[in-house]
Amino acid sequence: YVETVLTAAVAGYYLSQAADGAVDRRLFAEENGRMAAAVLTDAAATASQRDHALRTVTRWWKAREGGLSRRGLDGGPRGLLGDQLGLLEALTAAGRIKEALEVVAAVERELLDAEKAAFYDRPASGELPAGLDRIRFAHLNARARRAYRILGRAAKAPAVLKRVETLGDWLWNHPE
């Protein structure tokens, strides 16, 4: 189904298909990263499926701006945590550890609330007061913790593994 309906020609995965058969042909960073990671970690994936997933990872990697992904290839908000985690998961699954660590550096720089050791859902817009501008969601921080743990072990990166600990502490005190 994914290969015949949701796979974009060059690289990427379309968002969904409606009950009437219409395919939503938008391409989004988070969903593309998660799909590419799923394919790359699936032992049953074919060589063709893996090749498409690797092209997808490369396409999103090249589309970053200021170290962060935009929501869509044709624009949209820049720096949403879910989109960065999708790319991080895909790069890690592809074995592109150096690039995955670059995503970590950008996420730490743009989204980390250093006082609370958790990530905001997006960069500050400056349009709203600080307490309303962005939010630390437990579910996104739990996903970040998992992605950091996988990357930290693969890269043998103590700083990344330390963030796993601080995120765990924050999550313990902030259940959703």
Q: List, for residues 134-171, the tens digit of each pLDDT value.
A: 999 999 999 999 999 999 999 999 999 999 999 999 99
Nearest residue to 145 (alpha-carbon basis) of 132, 15, 136: 136
Q: List, for residues 12-34, the tens digit of each pLDDT value.
A: 999 999 999 999 999 999 999 99
Looking at residue 10, the DSSP 8-state letter turns out to be S
pTM for the complete prediction? 0.94
Question: How far apart are the C-alpha atoms of 94 and 31, rounded to whole Å?
Answer: 16
Q: List, for residues 57-84, the tens digit of each pLDDT value.
A: 999 999 999 899 999 988 899 999 999 9
